[in-house]
Amino acid sequence: MARADKQAAVAEIVESFNEATGAVLTEYRGLTVKELQDLRRSLGANANYAVVKNTLAKIAATEAGIDGFDDLLTGPTAIAFINGDIVEAAKGLRDFAKANPTLVIKGGVLDGKPLDPAEIAKLADLESREVLMGKLAGAMLASLTQAVQLLNAPISQAARLAGALQSAAEQDPSILAGGAGTPVADAAEEAPATEEAATEDDSEATAEAEADTTEA
């Protein structure tokens, strides 16, 4: 390969590393061309599965600031550059490897951090982004329902307080004018006592008027 071609190939791999969310290194020794095509289809839009030369991949990994790949770049190597849901891509690689044991998952990188095969297997066991988003939406809906139920109680209490305030204002208009007035909570209990006091005052005034008339 000419020097210019090598530089272009390295630059392409570096760009793939930089644009991808993560990457998984595999050894595809023994896979047929058709099986490689099936693997690419199984990954779908989530990943770009590319066969690379180990020497060029080492240079590209160094330029991209990725460590820990040198020991993994042995034998026929292909890298799955993951651009979508990394969990879905990990599931696709795992399921394909189960059906085709000649595919070996050697390791990878996620957000610049190296991953070993066991960690990639754990990613594959996680629920997909769509499932997690569905569960989150369900949890938010349940929380919203609870919030509405909590808000309904204060609204009914406010209605009762408004009724008590209206009754108190009818007896003491100074409440609405900013006066001290009678506490709203006690208005209903003190209203009968106020009416009785007013009746007693009227009776005393009548008795005094009759006494003045007799003396005259």
How many Å apart are CA 156 and CA 160, to the nearest integer? 6
pLDDT by residue (tens digit) across 188-213?
444 444 444 444 444 554 545 444 44
The most distant pair of C-alpha atoms in the chain lies apart, rounded to whole Å, by 138
Given a contact cutoff of 8 angstroms between Cβ atoms, the answer to whether 37 and 69 are in contact is no
How much is the pTM?
A: 0.57
Tell me, what's the pLDDT at 135?
46
pLDDT by residue (tens digit) across 91-113?
989 999 999 999 999 999 888 78
Q: Hey, what CATH class is 3-126 in?
A: alpha beta
Domain boundaries, the chain: 3-126, 132-215
